[in-house]
Structure 1
Amino acid sequence: MSYSGSNHVSRIPDANGYYGEFGGNHWPAHMGPALEELTGAYEQLRSSPDFRHELDTVRTGLQGRPTPVLHLENISNQLGGARIYVKREDLNHTGAHKINHCVGFALLARRMGKRKLIAETGAGQHGVALASAAARFGLECEVHIGATDADKVNANVDLMRLLGARVVPVASGQSTLKEASDSALHAYTEQHAHALYAIGSAIGPHPFPMIVRDFQSVVGQEARAQFLAITDGVLPDHVVACVAGGSNALGLYSGFLDDPEVALHAVEPLGKSAEFGQHAATLTFGRPGTLHGASSVVLQENDGTPAAVMSIASGLAYPGVGPEMAMLCKSGRVSVDTVSDEEAVGTFLRIARSEGIIPALESAHALAFAIRLAADRPRRERILVNLSGRGDKDVDFVLARFAPGGLGTEPGDVDRQRGPAGLRRYALHPGKPHSR
């Protein structure tokens, strides 16, 4: 039984947790029993009608699902090209798609007799979602976050604490998502007897990527049915999502993977430039490697250590990608594009002024590419974007750095010496893949 009804999802991964050449379990041998316990529990519960009923009930009552699909009429009319639609995952309780798998992990932990959830977070959305789910089901919660990110999204840190979570700032390395993941994984290895690792994306050793994808597939299920209803039975021509680990992308893609006429696009953060260390575009510039317990594609130094990464969107500043995303991109089913910090901020401002929606900086990457794509495509085509989170967490950061004198009253009225204009478009030519 698959969560999405997709033929792809029903046969991937294989019994050993591999997505083609990627995936598997590359954790220390002593963690094998804990992963086997999790795999067995999940395989039993995923086909349980009682478990599915409880999950659906929580999704309706706590999360507020289903989230709608909306036509961005103003932006579409401005462009005059393909029409852009968004799946409003920003309307979930706690403001992002992350709660889709957080409530799943909370229910799974309770069924397994675990009393605690452990996780990492970058932009803070996953941490807030997990803290909310833990509070709802009476579980302890421990969230690891890089110290740099904690300063950037301090409002989300306050929300985690308000919801009862213990927040662990991580000050090693770049003090961002990769280091938070290292710290959370270490904590889980020490506490697995009574705790469950509620991983933040479709990464890590088997069965974590599969579990996250399955819980997130509700996005694709809903989006497909909603889009067909809106368009009188016509599928989107393009489906777009931002990508770091791949949870929001795989969630949306799952509804369309078996439709070859639907083009799937993964949008990565180009950061400040295509120079090594100035971006986090793993699929564009990475090479095969192992990170956080799975073989995948990794941005790495010549000696194989993970490279320094950079993105204005904390949730995208990760030097790896989930194994299923790596497989889909290598096979050509998903195409990869990049968006710079500058273009993402410009889109953040433009969507706010044109549509009355404040997208997360992560989601702004996907929207930026969709705008670029729509301008070059005919009016008859339709583009569906996963608006994976809201941008409340990013407002202070963007205004302080890109509009220090205030936004004024006109669209795009920002300090042009310090940041992008809201209505400006950028052409990106990232160049050839590189390594160091």
Structure 2
Amino acid sequence: MTGLLFCSLLLFFLLGVPVAFAMGLSAIGVMVQGGVSLQVAVQRIFSTMDSFPLMAIPFFILAGNLMEHSGISHRLIQFANALVGRITGGLGIVTVVTAMFFAAISGSSAATIAAIGSILIPAMVRKGFPTNFSTAVQAASGELGVIIPPSIPMIIFALTAGVSVSIGDLFIAGIIPGILIAASLMLTIYVLSKKNGYGLEPAGTEEKFEFAALWKSALNAFFPLLMPVIILGGIYGGIFTPTEAAAVAVGYSFVLGKFVYKTLNRKNLMEALRNSVIATAIIMFIIGNAGLFGWVLTAERVPDKVAEFFISISDSPIVFLLLVNLLLLFVGMFLETGASIVIIAPILTPVAAEFGIDPIHFGIIMIVNLAVGMLTPPVGVNLFVACQIAGIRIEQIVKAMLPFYVVLLVDILLISYLPNLSLWLPGLYK
């Protein structure tokens, strides 16, 4: 039956069937073959979606959309520019810093690129950065949207991993890896800009540091920057759960856009709601069918068989993590991040636990690998969004992406083999 499950899944993928339908139909095919009532399929799909923690996903999506449609990204960009804009490769580094700020609001990679790319890519080009390099910087920076908390893929992982994983612990565990990746991207931009003379101001026209300008931009961005503090502080302060934190984020975003900045009108509010409903429906449909698929996997003892396979190769956690990284990078090239998590997490997370790898650490490894998959053709969503904004084709930025691929691979190895990068902060609260 296991062969039928995965062969039918692969066949559906090759036929271009959407991931959610492919998982659901594959699972139903195995159930019919085994004489299981289709009523069980409906029950499993419903029970998977009937989850209080899952409510955090639509709330975080809506909060990010409200912030985006309220023009918050302009304030974050101004603050980041005042902070690091005078450094060599300034606007490229501003892109990374702004992506960090917006990632701490939206929880989505594509939303981060859409919110700041339309402003910063043209600005970088005007400053003398090549278009392909500007687009590559934006695409690479966008992956921070799913690594720095709050992160929608982290919520999906926590609910589908097959072992008990705290969403709050995953959130806090993503902070140091997110900072590490951001710092490595900024260093890469600095070195490439210095070497190639990108974005250099004519002699005598360089902007000077002005504390007053920095202070003013910090005040303008104060309330948006306060949002992640409220979310994470509330969760770890025991004030509210991650789901309640997401609801608080929606209320905070609405008040900020409607009454503080007064930039949220009826039109962009309806647009934010429409985008949120569509994104939520897609994610929930995938999760529901993934629950059915995971139930069949468990019934067929697939995690046990996978564990036996890996142990037959080597009983070393080092070798296991290397193989897992290669697998995740390959899968990330062809599947969307959420779909990859709901298919792979229930299989590999229990196996990782048998190798003595903490589920929180493994979750961060999985999400960072799949975030890099957002930058790799043929299904790299970050590349498509950034190229659409820049008005160029994906093949035009592949060369510019190569240095970022190398740096991100090094980051993956560091995060994989230095578990304290992920586990130190969560350990402080235990």
Q: Per the shorter chain, which TM-score range?
A: under 0.3
Larger fraction in helix: 2
What TM-score, normalized by structure 2, do the two folds share? 0.27
Structure whose residues are more often strand by fraction: 1
